[in-house]
Amino acid sequence: MNSFSHLNAEENPAMVDVGAKTVTRRTARARSVVALNSEIMQHLNGTDITTKKGPVFQTAIIAGTMAAKRTDDLIPLCHSLGLDNCQITITTEGNDAIVDCLVATEGKTGVEMEALVGASVAALTIYDMCKAFSHDIVIKETKLMEKTGGKRDFRRD
């Protein structure tokens, strides 16, 4: 039976000891989907939405990147990681903004949480910057799409 990795022998919250793990190349890609409406999408100008606050997607990319780098400040039991790479892309499909966050490092622990935090904060930034047009915005999902390195790789079809 699997047990939760962030509980110690007394079943109290504890950071996982990764001291004995091998350093490997670790990558993760997470996706958030933000459902916008036609009132908001009418402001789509090429590949970005323009608002009085500035370019929505460009700002969301910066916010998501900053958040991924600070994941350990937000999630209590995450290890501090120096990221080698963080790439956020935002595309549209119909009225959905698709946020993909790809993160990489050389380390003893994975970067899934950094990718998830980056995608999530980028999605929240889209919400924040578009709410002046409409509050009919839904962050539909945030999920891990793939990870490499560590014990096992994962890829969502």
The catalytic residue positions are 128
The answer to whether 31 and 99 are in contact (CB under 8 A) is yes
| Helix and strand element counts for the chain (H, E) | 4, 8
Rounded to 10°, the helix 56-69/112-130 angle is 150
Token reading at 86:
């963080």
154 forms bridges with which residues in the sheet? 147
Q: How many angstroms separate the Cα of 151 from the Cα of each of 23, 84, 148?
A: 12, 20, 9
Token pair listed for 136: 């009919």
Strands 54-55 and 85-93: unpaired
